[in-house]
Amino acid sequence: MKIKFLGTGSGQTSLNRFHSSFLISSSEHNLLVDCGDGISKAILKQNVNFNSIDSILISHFHADHFSGLPSLLTQMKLLSRKNDLTIFVHSSEKDFLEDFIFHSYLFKERITFDLKMISFDVEIEIKVSEKFCFVSKLNSHLDKYKKYDSEYKLGFTSLSFYFKDDENSVIYSGDVGSENDLYLFDQKVDWFITETTHIKKENVLELLEKSDPKEIILTHIGDDFAKPLNEFRQSLPNHIKSRIILAFDGFELNQYHSGCL
Ligand SMILES: [Zn+2]
């Protein structure tokens, strides 16, 4: 498995980092996780071929995680994409996403490729390709919107994920409501990718101790938080520091990487 970080910024638009997104490559399948505002430029900047992306998974519907989708689909159309593209979306958001794409004038008959929408539910294993799968769990990031959700029956969902292939295992926190959401999965993984906007620096150390992943990768880093986060990491003893990575746009994880930056 290889993971390339296309964006590592927070919800605040920045000139230093694109919004959070990464590409998981496994078993000859490339899965894009999240596609917020500016994703098409982030992909170009990292020299990734738009049409090498086989599928897209969306963690939740804040603008920094999904709103670049119409632009991305348009780039694929302009490049006369022929391969099918799959979008994995939670079942409660499928109708909205289909409408969103339709209202972006991306009509199925007028694009050059087959766009498949696969809906899934939490806690059910979804096979992405032969040896590559994920499971999602509901986190509390959107609990603050419960009032609107129950009034309009919209089924808002913010998800955390566990990914696995025949080489590696990964947890991605998605955007969380609090540090408690870091412990939704019991699995011990190679890489724990966590956002840093809705947790404290100290929570990272607790996570390392309690969940014991090989490495923790910090992302969703706001401009104001980048310096204190880096200073915090630098202050740690070497054996801990070497297991905590501050991701940056273009950072790549693979089974051979050294872990130290
Ligand atoms: Zn976010």
Q: Ligand 1 mean position to 26 CA, how many Å?
A: 25
Residue 55's pLDDT band (boundaries 50, 70, 90)? very high
Whole-angstrom distance, CA of residue 186 vs CA of residue 114:
37
Q: For residue range 11-50, list pLDDT tens digits in order.
A: 999 999 999 999 999 988 999 999 999 999 999 999 999 9
Query: Could you give the C-alpha distances from 199 to 144, 203, 216, in angstroms and in order?
Result: 16, 6, 14
Residue 153's pLDDT band (boundaries 50, 70, 90)? low
Whole-angstrom distance, CA of residue 217 vs CA of residue 236:
15
Output the pLDDT for position 255: 72
Output the pLDDT for position 149: 74
Q: Ligand 1 mean position to 122 CA, how many Å?
A: 20
Q: Ligand 1 mean position to 175 CA, how many Å?
A: 6
Q: Are 139 and 171 in contact (CB under 8 A)?
A: no
Dihedral sign (CA 16, 19, 25, 30): negative
Output the pLDDT for position 152: 65
Q: For residue range 88-112, list pLDDT tens digits in order.
A: 999 999 999 999 999 999 999 999 9
Output the pLDDT for position 114: 97
Q: Ligand 1 mean position to 117 CA, how many Å?
A: 23
Q: Ligand 1 mean position to 112 CA, how many Å?
A: 31
Give SS3 for 127: strand
146 pLDDT more than 90: no
Q: Ligand 1 mean position to 13 CA, how many Å?
A: 11
One-letter amino acid for residue 54 of the chain? D
DSSP character at residue 85: E
Please give the average per-residue pLDDT across 73-86, as a whole number. 97
Output the pLDDT for position 144: 87
Whole-angstrom distance, CA of residue 170 vs CA of residue 36:
21
Q: Ligand 1 mean position to 118 CA, how many Å?
A: 23
Spatial CB neighbours of 210, under 8 Å, sequence gap ≥ 6: 183
User: b/e for 68-99, b at 16 or more Cβ within 10 A?
Assistant: bbbebbbbbbeeebeeebbbbbbebbbeebbe
One-letter amino acid for residue 245 of the chain? I
Output the pLDDT for position 95: 94
Output the pLDDT for position 256: 60
Output the pLDDT for position 154: 72
Q: For residue range 205-237, list pLDDT tens digits in order.
A: 999 999 999 999 999 999 999 999 999 999 999
Output the pLDDT for position 38: 97
Output the pLDDT for position 155: 80
Output the pLDDT for position 257: 56
Q: Does domain 2-254 have CATH number 3.60.15.10?
A: yes
Whole-angstrom distance, CA of residue 99 vs CA of residue 161:
25
258 pLDDT more than 50: no
Q: Ligand 1 mean position to 68 CA, how many Å?
A: 13
Helix (H) or strand (E) holding 101: helix 94-102
Q: Ligand 1 mean position to 11 CA, how many Å?
A: 5
143 pLDDT more than 90: no
| Closest C-alpha to 210, from 248, 179, 166 | 179
Q: Ligand 1 mean position to 97 CA, how many Å?
A: 18
Output the pLDDT for position 148: 84
Q: Ligand 1 mean position to 34 CA, how many Å?
A: 10
